[in-house]
Every structure is written in C-alpha cells, then in structure tokens.
Amino acid sequence: MRKNTYLTMALLSVLMLSGCITSRVLDYALKSDRQKDEAAYRGAFDGYKLSHPGEKAWVEAFTDTFIVSDYDGKRLHAIYRKADIPTPKTAFIIHGYGGSAAGMLPYARFYGSELGYNVFLPDVQAHGLSEGTMKRMGWLDRLDMLQWMRLANSIFSIDGKDTEMVVTGVSMGGATTMMVSGEVEERGMTFVRCLVEDCGYTDVYDQFSSVAKGRFTSVLDKADKKCQRQEGWGFREASSVSQVAKCHLPMLFIHGGSDTYVPTRMVYEVFASKPGTKEIWIPDGVTHAEAFYAQDRTYKNKVRDFLSRYLTPLPNQ
C-alpha cells in the first residue's frame, strides 16, 4: 500500500532526463519487475502471519485461484476466503500501485472477521503473482476485475443465489473501483450492491501531472500518445470521473484531508460526477492511504454504517 515514493521518484527522475525521456516514462512508471513483485507478495503474506501470530490459522485458510484474462490471455492470480458462517455478503478488495492481494490482508481481516463477509482479493496484472509486464493503472484492469467478480459471485453463491457484493479498493485500487463502477450496471451484474473507494485519482493523466507538480506537460502528452500506441490505452481515457458518472449504485468516497500524493481535491471532482446515492468522508490530517490505520475505529464505523444501509444485515449485526 505504501508505494507512493516509488512512483513519485521514478516519474520525476525520468521527466528530468534529457534526450530519451519520453521513451522512458512508461518503463519507469509502468514497467513491472516480476521477480520482485512475486517476492514482495510472498513477503507480505508471510510477514502478516509473523506479525499476527494469533491469526495464522485464519490466513492459512485462504485459497489461491487463477484465471486466464478474457482481455489479453494473461494468467492472473487471486486469493479468497469463505466466511466462517455461510453468507452471501462478499467484499471484493482491490490493492494499490505496487501492492498485492497479500498487502490487503488487514482490510480482509476487517471485512472477513469483524463483519463476517466472504473476501476475495485479486492481484491486478503486473502485480503480485499475476502475469503482465506493464501496469495499467486500473483502466484495463477494470475488465479483469469484472471477470474476477463474476467468479467470486459463483464461488460464494449459496444454493445458486447471487451474492451481495461490495467492491472496495485503496489508492490505485480506489481508482480501479471507480473505473469498475461504470461497467457493472450496463453488464447486468446485479449482485454488486455498493462500492467503497479510498483515495483514488480522477484520471491517470491528472495523477501523473500531480506527481510531476504540473511540470513537463509536453513530455506527459508524448508519453500518453506512446501509451496509446504501445499499450492500447491513454492517460486521459483512464478516467474515474467519467466512469462514476455512469454509476447509480451507492458509493462511499474516503480521502485523507492531508493527502498530497493523490491530492484531496480529486475526491471532490469524482464525488461531484457521481449521480444517485453517495457519501463522502474526509478525515482531517490524514495522508495518502492512511485512513484505515490512522483512524481505524472511525474508518470501520463509517464503512460498517454505510454497508448496513445497502446490504442485508447478518443475524448477529
């Protein structure tokens, strides 16, 4: 989750180079080191067990699963865990830039143990144990997420009935959540009941520009065009704003009031774009992707209260 410095330093250092800077922006900002990513995933998973010895059995009850992406044929990885008491309530949890499913285990613990939900955590392409050489900043990942969500609905189905799913993510995962939000209704995915996004960005161009402090726009423009040619998507096209504008499902927006990495201003733009039912929480003094940790009790209460309005309460809640 705490990968802000990597992207900031990588992008700024590349933008300041001369000569071949445009050709190197995509490599520095988006290229994956698969060996390091896989090692980081395993380190995060094992690290959680070491730092939470009382939860070893809970963590080891996760199941690994794989799919082949319908979009581009990459082999993708995810982990999931069924609730101890059978339930249709399901949390689909998306990690951030440079992270992995294993890095989201604290969130899975909240949704799974404290709320009693099934939990499903995918590795997006070029992260964790999923294949892929270039990060897609959530945009093309949204298509893989839709495929995963259908699988999760099938895995957690009881007697052939749909789940009641909340889709949630943090940082790039928050942006991915918003990018997914514009697809679920038109694709008839009625099992998705609501969404919780935490500190996602407005669009990829805006985010990269923010990291570069508004400088080097000509370089970003050229890198954007190269991404379109080479990767099949553009920085401006990858827009949370345009996607949430198509979403009428309830959505909770969370963003630290002192976030300078994904500036707090961005949440107001995506919030304004969202029609229908929506809520927003801006915790004072909280930096990027830290609300869950810095104000854990308030965070959990906000999410719990939100979910109670849109998912059927469990018997003990």
Q: Residue ranges per domain, the chain?
A: 32-203+238-310
107 φψ region: left (φ > 0), alpha (ψ -120 to 50), beta (else): alpha
Asked whether the predicted pLDDT for residue 215 surpasses 90, the reply is no
Query: pLDDT tens across 28-42, in order?
Result: 889 999 999 999 999
What is d(CA 172, CA 95) in angstroms, rounded to the nearest whole number?
Answer: 7
Question: What does the DSSP 8-state code read for residue 133?
Answer: S
Question: What does the DSSP 8-state code read for residue 312?
Answer: P
Q: Which CATH architecture group holds 32-203+238-310?
A: 3-Layer(aba) Sandwich (3.40)
pLDDT score recorded for residue 317: 52
User: What does the pLDDT average to over 89-106?
Assistant: 97
* N residues, the chain: 317
What is d(CA 278, CA 307) in angstroms, rounded to the nearest whole number?
Answer: 12
User: What does the pLDDT average to over 280-304?
Assistant: 98
What is d(CA 218, CA 151) in angstroms, rounded to the nearest whole number?
Answer: 42
Query: pLDDT tens across 147-162, in order?
Result: 999 999 999 999 999 9
The pLDDT confidence band at residue 16, using thresholds 50, 70 and 90, is very low
C-beta neighbour count of 25 within 10 angstroms: 25
| pTM, 2 dp | 0.94
CB 139 within 8 A of CB 238: yes
- Closest-CA residue to 26 (of 236, 227, 229, 219): 227
Looking up tokens 């093309």, which residue turns up?
140
